[in-house]
Structure 1
Amino acid sequence: MTTIHHTATTATTHRVFATGACAHTRYVHDPLTGLTHRTANLIALGRAHLPSNAVASWPTIHPGELDREVPVSVCWSPLVRCNLACPHCLDDKAVPELARKDRQRIATVLGESGVLAVDLSGGEPLLLRDLGDLAATLTSAGCVVSVTTNGWHLQRRAEALSGQVDAVRVSLDGPDAESHDRWRGSGSFRRAVAGVRATVAQGLPTQLHTVLMASTRGSAQRMVDLAADLGADGVTFLQMLPIGEGAALAGTEQLTDEEASATVADLHIPEAVTVRLRTRDDAGGFTVIRADGRVWRNDPTADGITTLHALTNSSDLTLTGRDGSA
C-alpha cells in the first residue's frame, strides 16, 4: 500500500486537482503526489481548485478499486532524448520518437479518453519545444498535468511552466552534489536545485522524486530535510523498477517493499512536507505511453510489461486488469 505522511500547517493553499466519480464513490487525484483520495464532499467534476491540506487528510484509494474503463492517471513519455544518462533509467533508448503532429494527436486522444491526469516525462520533457502546446491540449480537455524532469533546464523554464502545468516533479538521487552527481553527472545537482528554487518562487507546486535504492536509502532523511529547506511541497520515494536500463542494477540496488517501507517509517517529517513511498505494488498495472505512441501496462508486480500496443483512440487505454497509481 501507499505510505504517506503529512504534517498539517496553519496555512491553507488552494491548487488544482482532478475530480471524478463512479458508482457511489467520489475521488480526487493529486497531480503533485500522484495519489488518489476518496472524498464524501460534493465537488464539481473536472479540474478543481481545492485546499491542499484538506485533500491530503482524505483517505487514499488505489485506482484499481474504482470502477473505471480507463486509468485515473497515465505517464506519457513523448521523447527518449535526454541530456543525462542515468544508469537506473526506465526508458528503452531504442524506441523511435513520433513527429510533432503525432505527439499532438496523442495529446488529443488522451484528453478525450477520460483519463484525469497525465504526467509528462521522458527522456527529458523540457527538451520539447512543443511541451506547452501538449500541456494546453490536455488541460483544455480537463486533465491535470504534471511534468517529471531532471531539472537541468528547469530554472529557465520555470516561469513559462507556471502557466502551463499544475505540478512539477524533480528527480534527485542524493541530497548533495557528491551523491546526486554520481548518478546523473557533474553539475546536475546544482542545476536541479536552482530549478526547484525557481519553481517554488513561481508558486508552482513542486515535489522531489528520488529512486530508493540500497545505496541511497541512507540519505532518505536528508532528502526530506532538503525538500523543507528548498520550500518544496514534499518527497516521493520511488521503489526501483527492474525495467529498461535499470534492470542491470536490480540485483545489487533493488530493495524489497518491506525494506523501503521501514526506511520511510523511520523518517522525521518536517512541518509542511509530505512524504510518499511508491512501492512496486503501487506501480503494478500502471499505464505508460511511450515515445513511439505505444501503450504499455506494468504487470501486477511491476517487474515487467504485460501489454504493448499502439494508441490510436481512447479504447486502446481500456483497462483489462488492475490499474495502478504513479
Structure 2
Amino acid sequence: MRLVSHPVLCNYYVTYRCNASCSFCDIWEKPSPYITVENLKQNLRDLKKLGVKVIDFTGGEPLLHRELPALLQEAKAQGMITTVTSNGLLYPKNAEKLSGLIDMLHFSLDSPDRDEHDQSRGVKCFDKVMESIEVARALGERPDIIFTVFENNIEQIEQLWRDVCLPNNLVLILNPVFEYNQVGSALSKESLDKLAWWARQKNIYLNEAFIQLRIDGGNHVDNPVCKAASTTIVISPENKLILPCYHLGMKDFAIDGDLFNLYHSDEVQKLVALEGKLPACEGCAINCYMQPSFAVEVNKYWWKALPSTIKYNRMKGTWKQMVRF
C-alpha cells in the first residue's frame, strides 16, 4: 500500500567538485559548475509545490560552494528541512556562517585511526573532522558522524563509537557500502549480522531495512522496492533534472525555471514509471534512494525501517519539524 505518492526529498547537487578523492566514490572525477542562488529560488518554489519536505545539499563537497549559507537560508525560508554532509576540511572556517541553517549536519569519518581514514579519503582530513566536531558543538550544533561500513573497517565501529560519539553525545550513522559503476563492494552475511546488532545500540542509527535488502539480494526488477524517481528529485549542478536517479542518470532535462510542470510532463513521468524496473536496477541497494523508498510504501521493508527511523527522530528531535511542516 502506497502511503505517499509525491516526492519527499530533493538531492540537490550544488557541485560535483570535491577536495577529497575517496576510493569508494567517483563523483570527484567529474568536471562541474556551481549552482546559482537564482536557480535555487525558482526550484524551491516548485519543490514545495511538489510536496518535497527535505532538501539535501550534496556534492562533491558542498562546502566548496561559497554561497552555501545563502542557499541554506533560502531553503529554510521555504520551511525545508536541510541536510549537509561534509568531509570537515572547510567546516571550521565556515561554521559561524552556517550556524542554525543545517537541521542534519553530518561529518564523514570512516576510521578511528587517523592514517587509515586519511588514506581512504585521499586527503588528510581526520584532524579537521575532530576540529569540526569541537567547533560545531561550541556553536550549539549536534552533528552526526557518518561511517561508511566496509569489510575491512567493521571491527572499528566500537572504537569510533566509544571514543568519538559517546563522549560528545553524537549519533553514529552506519552507512553500509553499496556497489555501483564497479565502485564499492558487497558485505558478507557475517558483517550484516554484526550491523544488525549495532543497530540496537545507544547513539547508533542504521536503517535495518538496508540489511534486509542486502540479504534479499537488493532490488528486483520483477517486484521493485526502489521508488527513487517518485520519492526523490535529483537536480544537477547544471540545473537539470536527472532521472531515474543520480547513479543511473539515464536522462537529464533542462529545468528552465519550471520544475513543477517538467516533473509532471509525459516524458518525465514515463521514466518515473520505470523506477526500479530497468536492467541496471537489478540488485541495486543504494542507500540514499532506498531510504525514502522504504518510507512511502507499507511492505516488509517499511516495517523493518520503522524502529530505526523512530529511534533517529527521537534522538535528533526531527519529528517535531516534520509535524510542523
Hey, what does 1:166 align to over in structure 2?
103
Letter in 1 for 2:113: D
- Structure number with the higher strand fraction is 1
Taking the aligned partners of 1:221 and 1:268, their CA distance within structure 2 comes to 12
Matched, 1:254 2:254: no
CA contact (8 A) 1:212 1:260 kept: no
Match of 1:219 among 133, 136, 156: 156
For 1:256-290, what per-residue CA distance to the aligned partner results, in whole angstroms no more than 9, with x for missing partners?
5x55531222339764x132147266994443322
Deviation at 1:94, TM superposition (A): 3.0
Letter in 1 for 2:23: P
Match of 1:91 among 27, 38, 44: 27
Taking the aligned partners of 1:304 and 1:79, their CA distance within structure 2 comes to 18
Taking the aligned partners of 2:87 and 2:119, their CA distance within structure 1 comes to 14
Match of 2:198 among 267, 286, 295: 267
For 1:1-60, what per-residue CA distance to the aligned partner results, in whole angstroms no more than 9, with x for missing partners?
xxxxxxxxxxxxxxxxxxxxxxxxxxxxxxxxxxxxxxxxxxxxxxxxxxxxxxxxxxxx
Letter in 2 for 1:325: Q
Please give the secondary structure, in 1, of the residue aligned with 2:69: helix
| Aligned Cα root-mean-square deviation (Å) | 3.2
Hey, what does 2:238 align to over in structure 1?
292
Hey, what does 1:102 align to over in structure 2?
39
Taking the aligned partners of 1:68 and 1:87, their CA distance within structure 2 comes to 36
Query: Relative to structure 1, is the Cα distance of residues 310 and 161 closer, same or farther in structure 2, using a 3 angstrom cutoff?
Result: same
Taking the aligned partners of 2:31 and 2:226, their CA distance within structure 1 comes to 22
CA contact (8 A) 2:165 2:172 kept: no
CA contact (8 A) 1:208 1:232 kept: no
CA contact (8 A) 1:234 1:274 kept: yes
Letter in 2 for 1:122: G
Please give the secondary structure, in 2, of the residue aligned with 1:146: strand
Query: Relative to structure 1, is the Cα distance of residues 128 and 186 closer, same or farther in structure 2, using a 3 angstrom cutoff?
Result: closer
Deviation at 1:181, TM superposition (A): 0.7
Q: How does 1:34-45 map to 2 (within 5 A)?
A: none
Hey, what does 1:276 align to over in structure 2?
206
Letter in 1 for 2:21: A
Matched, 1:73 2:9: yes
Please give the secondary structure, in 1, of the residue aligned with 2:173: strand
Taking the aligned partners of 1:98 and 1:186, their CA distance within structure 2 comes to 22
Taking the aligned partners of 2:239 and 2:169, their CA distance within structure 1 comes to 32
Normalising by structure 2, we get a TM-score of 0.66
For 1:221-257, what per-residue CA distance to the aligned partner results, in whole angstroms no more than 9, with x for missing partners?
22322442451531222222333xxx3443xx3325x
Gaps of 5+ in 2: 220-224, 265-271, 277-288, 293-325
Hey, what does 1:309 align to over in structure 2?
253
Match of 2:74 among 117, 137, 141: 137
Q: How does 1:156-195 map to 2 (within 5 A)?
A: 156-195=93-132
Please give the secondary structure, in 1, of the residue aligned with 2:27: coil
Hey, what does 1:24 align to over in structure 2?
none
Q: How does 1:21-32 map to 2 (within 5 A)?
A: none
Letter in 2 for 1:263: K
Deviation at 1:112, TM superposition (A): 4.2
Match of 1:199 among 126, 133, 136: 136
Taking the aligned partners of 2:60 and 2:239, their CA distance within structure 1 comes to 14
Deviation at 1:209, TM superposition (A): 0.9
CA contact (8 A) 1:107 1:134 kept: no
Query: Relative to structure 1, is the Cα distance of residues 195 and 183 closer, same or farther in structure 2, using a 3 angstrom cutoff?
Result: same
Query: Relative to structure 1, is the Cα distance of residues 86 and 196 closer, same or farther in structure 2, using a 3 angstrom cutoff?
Result: same
Normalising by structure 1, we get a TM-score of 0.66
Q: Which moved more, 1:218-227 or 1:309-318?
A: 309-318
Gaps of 5+ in 1: 1-63
For 1:147-192, what per-residue CA distance to the aligned partner results, in whole angstroms no more than 9, with x for missing partners?
1111111122222222222120111111120221111145300001
Q: Which moved more, 1:310-319 or 1:113-122?
A: 310-319
